[in-house]
Structure 1
Amino acid sequence: MTIHPWRTASLVALLCTGATGSDADPRPLRLTQTRITIPQVDYEPALHTGADGLPRLDLKAVPWERVVEGAHAAVILESRYVRVTLLPEMGRVYSMVYLPTGHETLWRNDIVRPGGANNATGWWLWIGGIEYTLPGEEHGYTWALPWTWEILEDGVHRKAVRVQVVEPTTGLRETIDFSVESGSAAMEAAIHIRNPTEHTVDYAHWVNPMWAPGGRNEVTDNTELIIPTKHIVIPERWQANLGPSPQTWADSPLRWLRNWENMGDLMAVGLDAGFYGAYSHDEDEGVVRVFDADITPGVDVWTYGFHPEKIPMGSGGPNKGYVEMWGGTVATFPDERGALAPGQSVDWTEWIYPFQRTGGLTYADRWLAARCRFIRQTGELDVRICPVRELVHASVEVLRGERVIATHPVSASPSAPWSHAFTLSAGIPLAELLIVVRAGEQVLSRFRPQAAR
C-alpha cells in the first residue's frame, strides 16, 4: 500500500480540479483546540500506579452512584465531509461525525464507567470511540496511560495532531499522526512503533474501533459485517454462542448482526484485501478501515450479540451496543505476539471513513468504497461508489479479461454517491470481470464484482 507522495499529490489535484456544484467550494478545513466535559463515574480517586508503571483501579473502592464531569483536552479536525474529535491525552478518537448525513459513526457511552478486564491492569474503561493498544492482551494497556501530544500541521490543506506514549512494561514507543485533509471524508492515522531498548520485545498492536454506523449510538438491526476473507474461526469459549469453528465466511450467518445469538468474537483466517467494515442497511450508511494487510493482518470481531440486555451504559439505559472490529499486527487475538528487535520500528498508514448509499460493501481503498454485484444469468452489473473526496473527470471501465467492454463517466462525492447498472452479455464468468475506476488517465481502484445473492 505504499503510495509515493508525488503520486498522491497529483491524484488529489486531479480529483478536485474542475469541481462544480455545491461541493466545488468546500468549507475551510478547521482545527480547533478546546476542552470538553464528559460525564463519568467518579473512578479516578480509586486509581493508583503499580510497580510496573501501569495504572491499577480498585474496583471495590469506586463510588458507582457518584457521577462527575470529566474534563478533557480535545482537538477537533473538520473538513467539509467529516468532523473528528480527538482526546489526545488519551491517544483516543472520541467522535467521527459524517457531515453529509450528520450521523455519528462511533459508539460513545452516555456516562463513562470502568469495569474488569482480562489484562495486566485488571480493568477497562467503557468510554467509546477508537483506541490504539499495546502490547497485547485484552485491550492492552496504552488506553489507560497518559499520552503527550502536539499540533503537527495546521495548514490550509491538511490538519494533523501527533500523539505519543511509552508502554512501560516493554519500553515500546508509539507515535500516531492523526490527520484530515481538505475535501476528504477520511481520517488518516500514520502509526509508528519503535523499540528503543536493548532487548527484543514481543508485542502486538491492535486498533479497536467501536462502531455504530447510522447515527443512533447503537448498532441497527440490519447491520452487516464485511470482511474480505474466506474463513473465520471462533474461539472455543464462544462456540456455544456463535456456532461451530471454522466457518466459511460467505455462508456464515454471523455476517449479519441479527444472527449473533449472544456475545462473543470471531477471527478472520487471512485477508484477500486490506479493508473491513460495517454497514447499517437500515440507514444505508457504513464505515470502513483501510490498511496494509501485510503489516496488520489480524481481524477480530466482537459484539454483545443481537438485542443484548446488559450493555454497560453508565446511565443503565437500554442500548443495542456496538461492534468492535479489531485490526492487529498479528493474525490472532489476544495471545499471539510478534518480535521487534532492538532499535527497530514498524510503520503503516491507515484510513477510517464513513460512507453512504451503496447498499453494502464489496471493496474499499483510500479513495473510495464500492458495492458491485453481477447477475450472470441476465448480465446485469450494478456498481455503486461513494468516494472519499469528490470525483471529477472520472470514469468506470468494465473489463472482460484485457478488453474494455463497457465504460461510463463518474461524477460523485461523499454527499452524492454514484451508481449505474450496466447491461452486459449473459453468461460471462464472474472471474473474467474487472472494474477499473480512473481519474483522468490515472487508475484509482481495481476490483472484482461479487455474485448477486
Structure 2
Amino acid sequence: MGHRNLNPTNSYSHCPANAASRRQHLLRDNPLYSHLSLRRLSVDEASSPAPVPQSYRALVIENEYLQLTFLPELGGRLYRCVYKPTGQNIFYQNQVIKPSHWGPFMPAEHNWWLAAGGMEWAVPVHEHGYEFGVPWNYAVEATSQDTTVVLWDSRDSDRLQFEVQITLPPQQAVFIVRPRLTNPLTNDTEVQLWLNAMLTLGSQTIAPETEFVLPEGPVVVHSTGDSLLAAEGKVMSWPIYGGRDLSRYANWNQWLGVFVQQPEQNFVGAYNHTTGLGVARIFSPQAAPGVKLFAFGPDFNDRGHYSDDDSQYFELWGGANRTLTYANKAAALYLKGKGGQIDLGLSVSSPLQGQIRLIAAEERIILEQTVALTPGDPWRQQIAWPDDLPSDATLTFQLLDSKNKHLLDYRKLK
C-alpha cells in the first residue's frame, strides 16, 4: 500500500461556461443537486480549451496478482487494475481528462462527464451521475486477511450518502466491490446507483477481437446509432440479431447500449482475444440485477469529444435497479466445440490443486487430469472431438479440489 503523485494525463478546464446558471435551475427543482458546485469559466476558456499537465494523488494497494490504483481527487475512481503476471491493465486509461457533452443534464452542453477510464461510481442520478470528477474522501483498512479501501462522497446529514468498499484479498486475482447508499433525510428520495467499468482489457483502445459475454436472450436497447438494430426502448435478441453476432465487437457498426432484462446467471464478462486478457463480474441477480453493456462501435466518429488519441473502450455496468463461457467465484471457464475439436481454457481466482474432468453424453469421460493451478498461469488445452461422438452431444466440465469438492460444474451443448 502506498501514496504516489500520479501524472497520468493532461487535463482540460472542466466546466462549461453556462454551468453555474444551470446549477441554479437544479437547486430549485431537485434537492439531490444542492451540494453541487461548478465553476463558471471565462469565454476564452470555454471556447478554446487546451490541455495542461495535471498531477493527482494516487492510492495504490496490491497483492500477489493485482495492483489497484485509486484517484480520490477524481471521483474516487478505481483508475487502474494491473494484472501483475503480464503487466496488463484491464481498464481503459484516457490520455486526457477532457469534459464531454454526455451526462444527465439537458441541453447536452451543460454536461461535463469525464471518460477518464477505470471504474466510476455513477450516483445519484441517471447516466453517469455527477460525482465522477469531484474529490472523494477515503480510508484504508488493512488486516491480516485483506486490505480494503473505503471511499465516500459525503457524510453530511442533509443529503444522500454514498460509500463504496473495495477489498483486495491475498493470493487471489479478484477484488470485491461493496457499495452502500444511505438516506439520512426524512423523506423518500429517488436515486440511481450504478458501477461503471470502462474497459479495453490490456490495450489502449478496444480490439475488434473483443468478445462480450452476456446471457443469451432478450435485451432492451438503451440507445444506438445503428439503424439496423432495434430502436431505443425496444427489445431485441442477444447475441444474434439480424444475422449478426453482436457478442463480437468486429460485427458492430455504431454505438449500442443494452440492458439485460432478467439476468438468471450470476456472471457477465468480456475477453480480448488479441491480448489474451478477460474479466468477469460475479454478482447476485437478486441483490444487484442491473446489467448494461455499452460500446461506441468502429464507425463512431465523435471520439474527439472525450479523447485526443482516437481511442475507444467499452462499458460494463452493474447496479441495483480465451473467451468466457462460465464463471463463478472460483474460476472462469472457456469451452467451445468447433471444427472437429474442443477448445478448453480455465483461469482460477486463487491457487488450488485438484482435478479436471470433461464428460460427454452425461457419462463418457473424455478428459481427466490432475492439475495445480494458479491465477498467473491459465490452463489451456485442445482435444479432438471423438469420431464416434454425436455432434449434438452434451459436454460437462468439472473442476474439483483436492478433497473432491466441486468448485465448478458446467454443462454445455456443442
TM-score range, shorter chain: 0.7 to 0.9
One-letter identity of the residue aligned with 2:14 = Y
Structure 1 partner of 2:82? 97
User: Could you tell me whether the CA contact under 8 Å between 1:96 and 1:106 is conserved in 2?
Assistant: yes
Letter aligned with residue 389 of structure 1: S
Report the counterpart of residue 394 of structure 1 in structure 2: 354
Distance 1:159 1:313, change over 3 A: farther
1:80–1:241 CA distance, 2 compared to 1 (3 A): farther
Other-structure match for 2:31:
none
Alpha-carbon distance between aligned partners in 2 of 1:146 and 1:93, rounded to the nearest angstrom: 13
Asked if 2 retains the 8 angstrom alpha-carbon contact of 1:226 and 1:277, the reply is yes
Q: What is the aligned partner in structure 1 of residue 36 from structure 2?
A: 54
**2:263 counterpart of 1:271:** yes
Cα pair 1:107 1:128 within 8 Å, conserved: yes
* Partner Cα separation in structure 2 for residue 199 and residue 243 of structure 1: 39
TM-score, normalising length from structure 2? 0.82
CA distance in 1, matches of 2:224, 2:155: 30
Q: TM-score of the superposition, structure 1-length normalised?
A: 0.76
Q: Residue 439 of structure 1 is aligned with which of 396, 401, 407?
A: 401
Q: Structure 1 CA distance, aligned partners of 2:332 and 2:86?
A: 16
Contact kept in structure 1, 2:5 and 2:57, CA below 8 Å: yes
Counterparts of 2:12 and 2:159 in 1: how far apart (Å)?
31
| 1:238 to partner: Cα distance | 4.2
SS in structure 1 of the partner of residue 265 of structure 2: coil
Measured in 2, the distance between the counterparts of 1:181 and 1:243 equals: 42
Tell me, yes or no, if the aligned pair for 2:226 and 2:253 is still in contact at 8 Å.
Answer: no
Q: Which amino acid aligns with 1:326?
A: W
Query: What amino acid sits opposite 1:246 in the alignment?
Result: V
Give the Cα separation in 2 of the matches to 1:301 and 1:169.
Answer: 34
**For residues 296 and 148 of structure 1, what CA distance do their matches in structure 2 show?**
25
Q: Give, as a single letter, the amino acid of the residue that structure 2 aligns with 1:95.
A: R
Change (3 A) 1:162 1:236: closer
Name the counterpart of 1:113: 98
Aligned to 2:193: 205
C-alpha distance after superposition, 1:215-258 (max 9, x if no partner): x2110111111112312232476452645653321424221112
Q: Secondary structure at the match of 2:227?
A: helix
**Structure 1 runs not aligned, ≥5 long:** 1-30, 331-357
> What is the one-letter code of the residue matched to 1:66?
A
Deviation at 1:131, TM superposition (A): 0.4
Structure 1: distance between partners of 2:201 and 2:104: 28
Provide the residue aligned with 1:348 in structure 2.
Answer: none
Alignment match, 1:283:
275
Q: Residue by residue, what CA displacement relative to the aligned partner does 1:110-151 show, whole Å, maximum 9, x if unpaired?
A: 111112234147331121111011223111123244321111
Q: Is the 8 A contact 2:95 2:308 kept in 1?
A: no
Contact preservation (8 Å) 1:55, 1:145: no
Which has the larger displacement, 54-63 or 115-124?
54-63
Cα deviation for residue 76 of structure 1 reads 0.8
Q: 2:117 is matched with which residue?
A: 128
Aligned residue in 2 for 1:350: none
Amino acid at match of 1:418: W
Larger relative contact order (C-alpha < 8 A, sep ≥ 6)? 1
Tell me which of 128, 135, 139 is aligned to 1:139.
128
Alpha-carbon distance in 2 for matches of 1:57, 1:230: 46
Whole-angstrom distance in 2 between the partners of 1:315 and 1:383: 37
Where 1:389 maps in the other structure, the secondary structure is coil
Q: Give the Cα separation in 2 of the matches to 1:312 and 1:53.
A: 30
Matched residue SS, 1:448: strand
Aligned match of 2:389:
426
2:209 to 222, 225, 236: 222
Structure 2 gap segments, 5+ residues each: 28-33
Match of 2:54 in 1: 70
- Which amino acid is 2:397 matched to? I
Q: CA deviation at 1:361?
A: 0.7
The answer for the alignment partner of 2:235 in structure 1 is: 246
Contact 1:131 1:143 in 2 (8 A): yes
Once the two structures are TM-superposed, the CA of residue 280 in structure 1 deviates from its matched residue by 1.3
From the superposition, tell whether residues 446 and 235 of structure 1 become closer, same or farther in structure 2 (CA, over 3 Å): same
Alignment length, in residue pairs?
386
Q: Which of 154, 159, 172 does residue 147 from structure 2 map onto? A: 159
Contact kept in structure 2, 1:241 and 1:260, CA below 8 Å: no
The verdict on how the C-alpha distance between 1:314 and 1:323 changes in structure 2, with shifts beyond 3 A counting, is closer
Contact between 1:41 and 1:314, CA under 8 Å: does it hold in 2? Answer: no
| 2:275 match: secondary structure | coil
Partners of 1:163 and 1:292 lie apart in 2 by 22
Contact 1:54 1:168 survives alignment (8 Å): no
Code of the aligned partner of 1:164: W
Offset of 1:41 from its aligned partner? 0.9
Preserved contact between residue 246 and residue 252 of structure 2 (Cα < 8 Å): yes
Mark the CA change 1:53 to 1:390 in structure 2 (over 3 Å): closer, same or farther: same
**1:39 maps onto 2:10 in alignment:** yes
In the alignment, the residues of structure 1 paired with residue 64 and residue 342 of structure 2 have an alpha-carbon distance, to the nearest angstrom, of 32
Paired residue type of 1:435: F
For residues 14-52 of structure 1, the C-alpha deviation after alignment (integer angstroms, 9 at most, x for no partner) is xxxxxxxxxxxxxxxxx1122223320133696767542
1:286-320, Cα deviation, whole Å (9 max, x unpaired): 2222211212212222211115333237663332x
Tell whether the 8 Å contact from 1:53 to 1:168 is kept in structure 2 after alignment: no
1:247-288 deviation per Cα after TM superposition (whole angstroms, max 9, x unaligned): 321424221112221123122222231221221112222222
Cα distance in 1, alignment partners of residues 155 and 292 from structure 2: 22
State the identity %: 23
Cα gap change, 1:414/1:312 in structure 2, threshold over 3 Å: closer, same or farther?
A: farther
Distance, in Å, in 2 between the alignment partners of 1:269 and 1:276 is 13
Residue number among 179, 189, 194 corresponding to 2:182 in the alignment = 194
- Contact 1:135 1:167 (8 Å CA) reproduced: no
Q: Contact 1:224 / 1:280 at 8 angstroms: preserved in 2?
A: yes
Of 312, 317, 329, the residue aligned with 1:366 is 329
2:316 match: 325
Alignment CA distance shift 1:249-1:225 (3 Å): same
Distance 1:115 1:385, change over 3 A: same
Letter matched to residue 439 of structure 1: D
